[in-house]
A and B are shown apart, each in its own frame.
Chain A
Amino acid sequence: MARKTSPAVRIGVDTGGTFTDFVIWKDGRLFNRKVLSTPQDPSLAIFEGVGDFLGSGAPAFIIHGTTVATNALLQRKGGRVALVTTAGFEDILAIGRQTRRELYSLQPEERFELIPAGRRFGIRERTLASGQVERTVSRSEVRKVIAKIRKSGAEAVAVCLLHSYASAKNEDVVAEELARAGLLASVSSRLLPEHREFERMSTTATNAFLMPVMDRYLRELDRRLGRAELRIMQSNEGYISPVRARLEPIKTSLSGPAGGAVGARVLARAAGIPNIISFDMGGTSTDVSLIEGRIRRTHEARIGDFPIRLPIIDIHSVGAGGGSIAYTDRGGSLRVGPQSAGADPGPACYGKGELPTVTDANLYLGRMDPEFFLGGRMRIHPDRSRAAVGRLARRIGKSARETALGIVAIANANMEKAIRVISIERGFDPRAFALFSFGGAGGMHAVEMAAHLGMPTVIVPRNAGVLSAFGLLMSDSVKDYTKSLMKPDSQVTLADLESEFRSLEQASFRDMKEDGFAAKDVVLERSLDCRYLGQSYEIDVPFRKARTAARAFLESFHSRHQKLYSYRHDRRPVEIVNLRVKAVAVTPKIPLFEEPGQKTLDPKAMIRKQPIFYGRAAAEGMVIDRSRLAPDNAVRGPALVIDPESTTFLPPNYIARVDGYSNLIIRKAGPR
């Protein structure tokens, strides 16, 4: 299952807002690097970090998590796009699902028009739901439209004709003509051959919007990296070649977070706790996702203004983070966030801002070490936190300590809600999962939140700050293929399914070959999106070639439906909506070594004692230097465990044990 030649140097590179992180594997050794990001041209920071590996020897293999697509979406800065669609349906993109975001707003909400009416072109053609082409496209009409597109100054063209998932004949003709004209094209039947015209069109158009941006970026990066072998991480937890990323940039929209999810999965599995909810608390927002042995994916994501219907890791975000500002609203209630002090002015303790934030509350409560913030790289001012929290306390008539505890409790409640959404609302019981906390601020909140949610274990990995880069290094090549079928199960023979699956798999072999993988290196997973006839939501169930129980997928569907929706309906016809194939070409992995245990605690690990507040009580808690902890060491709360990237707050009656991979495994202590 290995590639023929395994490069000597493998690097995971994750571009972040502040730092670009590198995890490098060379000569059997793993090490990290951090370089300040260069937002104007992210490739600069990447070159700075990997430059010294680009020289002689075997070319370095680099897997890159990029924010280029994400930022273009969030900032609405993409290319100038035109749309070609069926005449009479040019406005589907503008109408969307005919809903508004805000129910109770009398003023029209602001909307971003991806493609204005003047660049939406209809052509006379029609394919029916059955796939029968009722009216073929006229090439001369297409050429006329292309002339108009050129005039419009569009850099990329989205093509989405009605029912093209059922037959791509008409779209193919348009695509051919666009290729002949030398225009960048994003074609719906190739990108997302599934029914539901708005979502397909919008995904295709968003892809076109990103094409010019990704094209420029990857050209630049390619030039800098020379003969290194580059791969780009997709939102579906696997990487693709730069060539593919330029054609399908939308697939990289959650590139970095996907690396984080892979990293979490790999470490959690190594720790023997494969079922986790990952919790990444940053400065302004918190991301959570659920990993049940494998990373859960969704087909219904949204980034900024853009709905995205491609397989993407299922991440839920809330506007709560260390920088979230605490204030009282007009009704006298204490609110925390979603407004954030961000990095500038930042929390009061950074020295500029005056408003109390979650970070200030933590500092006031002794849940952070003022001496060791960002490993001592940044000076913070506890007195400013105290003053800011104190001002708020006077306004609400409480003590400063009560106020700080209140800020933390409210922030926790907001973040717990995100965990409920990703678990309970998706049919999972959080009590069966461990909370896997990474990101700088999470460790100060994780144990209390887990207790509220009934989650028995908290895992805090070491090097949490470069988890995404680590995950990139550990990821595989993953490609997804889909075909809309939309037929009741009774009208589909197994032979039909087999031949449809085969043709998707053939496509996957061709694509994987382009990336240097032989067919035998590719692991295939077949699944079906099913629903009861008449429903409008699908459930994906695995499809296996079982000779004995030919329609085992039906039973899987009924039982999954029961689990998710609390009932099953065995006599109701089941409709097969989509066939899916996930192709994974397994990349040779860096081995993770479990280090031997050591019972005694290095006395130098104990830095000093400081007062820590929790509930109504306070206690002297030990501040522990995490870098001096060894496997099998155990720390009992109240304590702070600190490393340059994160702080973990251990309340009383909790014990953190260090496992063989240097993770902190935190559980409630038994009676002493």
Chain B
Amino acid sequence: MKKFDPIELELFKNVFIAISEEMGAVLGRTALSPNIKERKDYSCSLFNENGETLAQGSHIPVHLGAMPLSVQAALQAVTFEKGDLVILNDPYRGGTHLPDITCISPVFLGRKLSFFVANRAHHSDVGGMTPGSMPLATELFQEGLIIPPLKLYSRGRMNKDVFDLILSNVRTPDERRGDLLAQFAANEIGRARLEEAVARFGAGKVRLYSGLVQDYTEKFLRETIRTIPDGVYAFEDFLDNDGISARSIKIGVRVTIRGDEAVVDFSSSSPQTEGGVNANFAITCSAVLYVFRSLVEEDIPFNTGLMRPLEIVAPKGSIVNAEFPAACAGGNVETSQRIVDVLLGALAKAVPDRIPAASQGTMNNIAFGGYDPWRKRHFAYYETIGGGMGAGSGAAGLDGVHTHMTNSLNTPLEALENYLPIRIRRYGLRKGSGGKGLHRGGEGIIREYEFRVPATLTILSERRRFAPYGVRGGGPGAKGKNTLVSRGRKKVLGSKVNVTLRPGDVLRVETPGGGGYGRPRR
């Protein structure tokens, strides 16, 4: 690490973090859709001129590793000018999955392109086969509108043609417009604040410390890796299937720790699949960074410094580095969780007291839509359901909670029943689903939906076939289960299904429990 002033380092750390957080506050405040506003499914970051992250508002882990790749993709595709805003969602050119739309703005100091500010938000619809744009598809084209890096604003002026094209391809254009304008507003604030910082401290200092905060973060991670014994640690686990065929999908990892560096090699993983559980490299990066960031106990800025001690090997064309035009809606929400599971599983062999058992390992994505005759309108709804957290060396896993790559809120059922022709018949913990152990795994959730009208339902879930593992003799968490009761008949549904519902049908989702930690006391 270069020579630095410890006081200035702290002040600049604060400045960079404060800017990314203020961007987040503006985006959350000004967005229109509940998914961004209430569930806070977005992230904001600052970058240097090479697209390396300085700081990221800590919002959604799955966005973290992916954002620098967006800036780099944009740098390759366009020539930035003052007042531009570049938008993209193409998973194979800087995106993750199509609903995540990234907006990038350059910050010029004088005539020199010096920084970028960017944010990424999950839009509740970007077109495609089904409402919510999380379909069971077999190619990217079916999943929604693909946006390569292009200028939504050019030299401060809105590119209306691009705007119109986007809005014509989505189911809820008003909401999209509101959310995109909010993303624009967030970047504007970030840019203004960076310019203020430069005015206050001078461009030289801001540039110097934009490098030093990365060194700072890097130092923490290197010291943390150094506490892990050198060695090679391997682990594998499986995805239930891809929603198209019944075959399970393997994710295998070999972690090599040497000194203060780690190589994370996914070469033993399955090839990419037909169904949409493919993860691109950005998602795999995010999952790896999440795990290593979590190993560091201190509160540190999230930036590119975290990448430096790590080498990620993910063969092209595999489930963890899929190639165009593989469908990938579920890679972001489901496969990312399994990547975390295998990486933690491997690390548990090295530092068992610091690694918890597997958490539920799925987000239980539930999307449905139809026509509401009472309110005389079409409806579309998407939510995710928490489950059991894996137990740790010090405590039982938390019950009914989102884990690892997501932390989005539930929707109050009193709100749901006010707006949708459904009733929630039960919402509670799934007793006994947490894995046994010295510390038990967290309990999953049971949620029952009764549909009052015909509807189409898409479920994208995992861990219905392979249970979340326990560690150090702890038992596995219970597998999840999706059940449909239609006209008195009970039918167990798969992990990933698309079904047509009749009035009176009841869907019961039981989410997985977390794994247990340690042998149970007798």
Q: Which residues of B contact A537 (CB under 8 A)?
A: 37-38
Docked complex Cα distance between A95 and B7 (Å): 42
The smallest C-beta distance from B164 to any residue of chain A, in angstroms, reads: 18
A100 pairs with B10, CB closer than 8 A:
no
Interface residues of B in 98-145 (CB under 8 A from A): none
Docked complex Cα distance between A108 and B401 (Å): 11
* A414 proximal to B (CB < 8 A): yes
A94 pairs with B399, CB closer than 8 A:
yes
- Determine the residue in chain B with the shortest Cβ distance to A89: B427
Docked complex Cα distance between A162 and B428 (Å): 14
Q: A396-B6, A410-B10, A537-B38 are in contact. Are A95 and B399 (CB under 8 A)?
A: yes
B413 pairs with A162, CB closer than 8 A:
yes
A99 pairs with B409, CB closer than 8 A:
yes
Question: Which interface residue of B391, B412, B445 has the most chain A CB atoms within 10 A?
Answer: B412
Q: A106-B354, A107-B395, A331-B219 are in contact. Are A100 and B402 (CB under 8 A)?
A: yes
* A223 proximal to B (CB < 8 A): no
Q: Tell which of A462-470, A504-512, A563-571 binds the partner.
A: A563-571
A91 pairs with B442, CB closer than 8 A:
no
| Chain A contact residue count (CB 8 A cutoff) | 67
- Determine the residue in chain A with the shortest Cβ distance to B395: A108
Q: Tell which of B268-276, B288-296, B453-461 binds the partner.
A: B288-296
The smallest C-beta distance from A334 to any residue of chain B, in angstroms, reads: 4
* A369 proximal to B (CB < 8 A): no
Q: Which residues of B contact A566 (CB under 8 A)?
A: 30, 181, 185
Q: Which of A88, A330, A406, A564 contacts B219 (CB 8 A)?
A: A330
B415 pairs with A195, CB closer than 8 A:
yes
Q: Which residues of A contact B22 (CB under 8 A)?
A: 420, 424-425
The smallest C-beta distance from B27 to any residue of chain A, in angstroms, reads: 11
Q: Which residues of B contact A333 (CB under 8 A)?
A: 6, 9-10, 13, 216
Docked complex Cα distance between A645 and B417 (Å): 55
The contact size tier of chain B is 35 or more
The smallest C-beta distance from B290 to any residue of chain A, in angstroms, reads: 7
* B255 proximal to A (CB < 8 A): no
Q: Which of A88, A103, A405 contacts B426 (CB 8 A)?
A: A88
Q: Which of A100, A104, A403 contacts B290 (CB 8 A)?
A: A104
Q: Which residues of A contact B398 (CB under 8 A)?
A: 100, 108-109, 111
A106 pairs with B356, CB closer than 8 A:
yes
Q: Tell which of A143-151, A373-381, A528-536 binds the partner.
A: A528-536
A106 pairs with B428, CB closer than 8 A:
no
A569 pairs with B6, CB closer than 8 A:
no
Docked complex Cα distance between A110 and B439 (Å): 13
The smallest C-beta distance from B293 to any residue of chain A, in angstroms, reads: 5
A330 pairs with B223, CB closer than 8 A:
yes
The smallest C-beta distance from A303 to any residue of chain B, in angstroms, reads: 20
The smallest C-beta distance from A456 to any residue of chain B, in angstroms, reads: 18
- Determine the residue in chain B with the shortest Cβ distance to A421: B25
The smallest C-beta distance from B309 to any residue of chain A, in angstroms, reads: 14
B415 pairs with A536, CB closer than 8 A:
yes
Docked complex Cα distance between A251 and B317 (Å): 59
* A302 proximal to B (CB < 8 A): no
A425 pairs with B29, CB closer than 8 A:
yes
Q: Which residues of A contact B392 (CB under 8 A)?
A: 106-108
Q: A91-B427, A106-B392, A331-B220 are in contact. Are A128 and B412 (CB under 8 A)?
A: no
Q: Which residues of A contact B391 (CB under 8 A)?
A: 108
* A402 proximal to B (CB < 8 A): yes
Docked complex Cα distance between A128 and B414 (Å): 9
Q: A129-B414, A196-B414, A330-B219 are in contact. Are A427 and B293 (CB under 8 A)?
A: no
B174 pairs with A90, CB closer than 8 A:
no
* A409 proximal to B (CB < 8 A): yes
New A-B pairs, 8, CB < 8 Å, besides A97-B410, A104-B294, A332-B219 = A88-B425, A89-B426, A99-B409, A100-B389, A106-B294, A109-B398, A417-B14, A565-B30
